[in-house]
Amino acid sequence: MGAGKTTIGRLLAKQMGREFYDSDHEI
């Protein structure tokens, strides 16, 4: 359960970080 949460958290963090980078790049 903890490992699954960590995996999902990493995916979300990676996705959020990627979106943030894309938005920052556009600006």
Average pLDDT over residues 7-26: 70
Map out the domains of the chain as residue ranges.
Answer: 1-26
pLDDT at 23: 60
Distance CA 5, CA 26 (A): 31
Structure pTM? 0.41
Distance CA 16, CA 27 (A): 17
Q: In this model, does residue 5 exceed pLDDT 60? A: yes
> Which residue stretches of the chain are H helix?
2-26
Work out the average pLDDT over 7-11: 78
Is residue 10 predicted with pLDDT exceeding 60? Answer: yes
Query: Is residue 1 scored above 60 in pLDDT?
Result: no
- In sign, the C-alpha dihedral spanning 6, 10, 11, 13 is positive
